[in-house]
Chains A and B, each alone.
Chain A
Amino acid sequence: MIRFEQLTKTFRRNTVLDGIDLNIERGDRIALVGSNGAGKTTLIRCLLGEYTHGGTILVDGKAPRTHRCEVLRRIGFVPQLPPPLKMTVGQLVNFSAELCGSEPERMNRIAEELGLPVQDFRRRPFVKLSGGEKQKLLIAIALGRDVDLLVMDEPAANLDPRARQVFFGFLAERQADISMIISSHRLDEVAALVNRVVELDRGRITLNDHVDDRVDMAAMLSCQLEVNRADDAFAKAIGAWNFEMVNGGLKWRGRVAGPDRLRFLGTLSRYAALLRGIEMKEGDNEAVQ
């Protein structure tokens, strides 16, 4: 579906991409990982036709630079940093839907399921939304259209756990039909969402491997935690995951989205000394309510 052949990109004398060869097939869900300056964003921008480059990029035989509209019509993009657009939420949705040949209602519906009531925010300038609200809207715009490829740069970084669950649910619904490239600094953030990992380092591919993708993206884990003593910092951190307190703060109960398990355990690791017991059980599949 997508072919990168000897892709190079140089800014003045600084080579950022150095002979990338990569094939992406339909159904591939790729974690594009690497440290800052590894070339992830540059690779994405080349794919989106935003950069001139050496070598070849073909999306079903078409180069993004020369067949912009045809290629970009099939790609949904969520940037890491939302653009500082002054247009209102309503205008942005209408504008994007018109350009992409989609329906604003479809985007609005997804935004609402992610927890952003578009009707209430219609007249608010996009730039005035919070980081999480902006991210929800950009995800809704990317998912609210028919695409063959989703390109997402740290898409869930600003989302609350509930919105993450919904987001994972949407990805699960579409994973059979489309390909995904999910860029992240850390593999554990996106590991459960992907079936392939491509690691970049200083403009070269250092790892290109398939990974176990048996994690059901729509799955939910029932979780129970026990702590030695009630602790305000822990209560705040676990409250952000929508856990409910039992027994005066000594026990906590809640649910975690399957793909979020590593991230959740990362949160718990900060309170390792406080934890007496952790129980996580898969099987509750009422992921997206």
Chain B
Amino acid sequence: MKQLIQLARADIGESLRARWFLVYTLVFGGIMVGLFISGLTESRVMGFTGLSRILVTYLQVTMAILPIFMLITTVRSVVGEREAGVFEYILALPVSIGAWFWGKLMGRFVVVFLPVIGALLLAVVWGLFKGVSIPWFQISIYSGLLASLAWCFLGIGMLVSTLSRSTDVAQGAAFMIWLVLLLFLDLILLGVLISDGLPAEMAIGISLVNPLQSFRTAAMLLFDPQLVLLGPAAYVILDNFGRNGYLAWAMIYPLFIGLLCAGAGFWGFKRGDYS
């Protein structure tokens, strides 16, 4: 455990000094500041007002940016450090592979989740400052959904990174995964498939297994119980799951996927050559 904490701390330190982290933080901070500047707290769009409006916009942007950012930065970690010769040295120190791998994962999670949650907290502070009502319940569930989504793509990223032989291959694979998940969102390919006569069960199945879709549906559900903004599959899913059931699914399922992928990555890494 002590080693795991040491390695998580070391990875946090390495990430904080990396350029990608600066860009990443600026993107999320920038989005929030942009939303404040554009006066969204006072605007009313499709029935959303005040802080809810900001958060709805933020979740849409987050869904587009967070997974690809997580994937691109994480897939570089194992394969990039292997290529650069970091492992030859670090893994020659008396450190267990488990502590190293999971410490790295924990450190990376803290680093990628902090700017996202930080931007969300910024919105809350802004809301308090402007005197608007704060939807505390939605914000706490939403934070959990964000953490779950971040963990999911972190796990996928670590798996891709451990399996790839070069950074280029890893980045290509990460981009493909993101693109496929994006295409199978309710409103894009899935809508087309349904209109072309895809069986409802299959559409629902695809919606359920796509962590991007589950995040999107659950996040929108928090702010829009009627789901007027969502596509057709979400209605069917909600009819079967119910609100709380779906929120639980959207929170637990991506965590499970992330853990499964990270576990597979660890197993693969442990069995192979480290450097």
Contacts and interface: CB of A to CB of B under 8 A. Distances in A.
Interface of A: 45, 48-52, 68-70, 72-73, 75, 77, 79, 81-87, 91, 95-96, 98-100, 125, 138, 151
Contacts of B84: 83-84
B92 A52 contact: no
A50 B97 CA distance: 10
B256 to A, nearest CB: 29
Contacts of A125: 17
Contact of A83 (B13, B85, B94, B271): B85
A95 B7 CA distance: 9
Contacts of A86: 13-14, 17-18
Contacts of A84: 84-86
9 contacts: A50-B92, A50-B274, A82-B89, A83-B86, A86-B17, A86-B18, A95-B6, A98-B6, A99-B6
B14 A50 contact: no
Contacts of A68: 94-97
A144 to B, nearest CB: 13
A87 B94 contact: no
B90 interface: yes
Interface in B5-47: 6, 10, 13-14, 17-18
A73 B10 CA distance: 19
Q: In which size bucket is the chain B interface? A: 20 to 34
Given A68-B96, A72-B94, A79 B85 contact: yes
B88 interface: yes
Contact of A45 (B88, B90, B93, B97): B88
Contacts of A81: 85
B199 interface: no
Interface in B249-275: 271-275
B84 to A, nearest CB: 5
Nearest to B11: A87
Contacts of A99: 3, 6, 93-95
A71 to B, nearest CB: 8
A75 B93 CA distance: 8
A98 B94 CA distance: 10
B88 A52 contact: no
B92 A77 contact: yes
Contacts of B13: 86-87, 91
Q: Which of A82, A85, A98 has the most CB of B within 10 A?
A: A85
Contacts of A100: 93-94
Contacts of A83: 84-86, 88-90
